Amino acid sequence: MTDVRSSQPAAVDQRSGKRERLVSAAIRLLHQQGVERTTLADIAKAADVPVGGVYYYFKTKDDVVAAAIDAHARQSATALAQIEARERSPKGRLKALMKEFAAQSELLARYGCPLGTLCSELDKRDGEPSLAADLMRVPIEWAERQFRALGREDAYEQAIDLMAAYEGSALLANTLRDPGILTKAAERYNQWIDSL
Amino acid sequence: MTDVRSSQPAAVDQRSGKRERLVSAAIRLLHQQGVERTTLADIAKAADVPVGGVYYYFKTKDDVVAAAIDAHARQSATALAQIEARERSPKGRLKALMKEFAAQSELLARYGCPLGTLCSELDKRDGEPSLAADLMRVPIEWAERQFRALGREDAYEQAIDLMAAYEGSALLANTLRDPGILTKAAERYNQWIDSL
DNA sequence: GTCTATAAATCGATAGAC
DNA sequence: GTCTATCGATTTATAGAC
């Protein structure tokens, strides 16, 4: 994955934290409004940075998006690592992931899955497998490791199946504005994990 | 659902079929490029209609999108009715739907599910349950009827589960550019249906 | 009734002031 | 090094010619 940190000016942003605020605002707005409908002015305003000043920290809008994706990937990896450290068994880890999904059901029903909507939108934008594909691989590979630890030969297929169930449930929960779709799907998956 | 046909000028477009071409082009481009990245110029060019002339047939871009959604809903309903007429048993009908999904795996891996990507994008656009929700309900209610005919009390939940599995698989197939994700998911669902 | 020419608005990006 | 003022490109929409 591209290291977006290298694109930041040298010896800059040590105190102000403006770049950090911009990335943080971008992550939130990209989720709520989508990539295409979020302007640099929106992001600058949310981060309390002068509108034109964004270009001091980033070369283009695409760079802002790339930085947001990169930061998001780190956040996801950290969250998954925390689950791995907290839960000892693969089953417990998978169930903890389901719990996280269910806990976000209200937000997901309102704005969709941050990861899923981003992948969907970036695919139209680039026309080629984008940075978002790497983002999607983070939870897939994590789940694959858990299934492999459970001794499943089809660990990759199971991981794909889990993420597909989650992403599909998030899409329907969002479209129909029904968080229950997500919580029920998580419950069902939990029962299935228990039955393994 | 709004009847978009009523928005077309009276006694117009009887021969030329330009409005029809515009809607047809809009459906295709909205799928391939997304709503936000498809301009009226794109649609007009694809339909071989003068760029500004679009406004004779539609009042705004949103009207073009609404007409495309409406036409798409009719197409889906027709396709599902054909399956219902062709296949006698609920199981056969559900399996026929899976077959249609699998048959489109290449297109879906390239551009995502037309329905899913549209719902995802329109949700960011409107901020409220959009016309696309009605579009999503078409296959859900169809599948619900089949599960009910199979005597399932949880017919609605099963229908949601089926569509979530499909939409999630389509999203992952698209993001990872792997049609196999869709065909495998369809296979697995077929086996499950057989086991009922 | 149909379409051309153009307006109006938005947004990404840049040049240069401080 | 940081940001303000502005440009230029794009796109939706309209006024009016034919």
The two most distant CA atoms of chain A are separated, in Å, by 56
Q: How far is the CA of A33 from the C1' of D2 (A)?
A: 29
Q: What is the pLDDT of residue A5?
A: 43
When scoring B172, B174, B182, B191 by the number of chain A Cβ atoms within 10 A, the one with the most, hence best to mutate, is B172
Q: Which of A123, A133, A166 faces B168 most closely, judged by CB atoms? A: A166
Q: Is the CB of A78 under 7 A from strand D?
A: no
Candidates B37, B175, B192: best to mutate against A (most CBs of A within 10 A) is: B175
- Dihedral-angle region of residue A112 (phi above 0 means left; psi in -120 to 50 means alpha; beta otherwise): left
Question: What whole-number distance in Å separates Cα of residue A91 and Cα of residue B77?
Answer: 41
Rounded to whole angstroms, the Cα distance separating B142 from B156 reads: 10
User: Mean per-residue pLDDT for B139-161?
Assistant: 98
Lookup: tokens for A1: 């994955």
A150-178 per-position pLDDT tens digit: 999 999 999 999 999 999 999 999 999 99
- Cβ-based burial of A45 (10 A; exposed 0-12, middle 13-18, buried ≥19): middle
Strand C proximity: list residues 11-50 of B with CB under 7 Å: 11-13, 16, 18, 49-50
Q: Provide the 8-state DSSP code for B7.
A: G
State which residue of chain B sits closest to A157, comparing Cα positions: B181
Name the pLDDT band for A15 (thresholds 50, 70, 90): low
Q: Would the CA dihedral through A51, A116, B135, B128 be positive or negative?
A: negative
Instruction: Decide if pLDDT at B8 tops 80.
Output: no
To the nearest whole number, what is the mean pLDDT of chain B?
A: 92
Q: Where are the domains of chain B?
A: 4-195
Distance (Å) of CA A58 to CA A30, A53, A66: 16, 9, 10
CATH of domain A4-195: 1.10.357.10
Write out the E strands in B72-177: none
Interchain CB distance below 8 Å, B174 and A132: no
pLDDT computed for residue B102 by the predictor: 98
Among the listed residues B134, B143, B179, the one whose alpha carbon sits nearest the alpha carbon of residue B164: B143
**Which of chain A's residues have a Cβ under 8 Å away from the Cβ of B112?**
120, 123-124
Instruction: Please state the pTM of the whole predicted model.
Output: 0.92
- C-alpha closest to that of B74 among B165, B147, B5: B5
Q: Please, are residues A152 and B155 in contact by the beta-carbon 8 Å criterion?
A: no
Confidence of residue A16 (pLDDT cuts 50, 70, 90): confident
A45-70: pLDDT as tens digits:
999 999 888 999 999 999 999 999 99
pLDDT the model gives residue A39: 97
Q: In 3D, which of A93, A106, A118 has the Cα closest to residue A190?
A: A93
Q: What is the reported pLDDT for B15?
A: 55
Q: Which residue among A36, A157, A177 sits closest to B37, beta carbon to beta carbon?
A: A36
**What are the tens digits of pLDDT across the range B82-105?**
999 999 999 999 999 999 999 999
Task: For residue B52, say whether its CB is under 7 Å from any atom of strand D.
Answer: yes
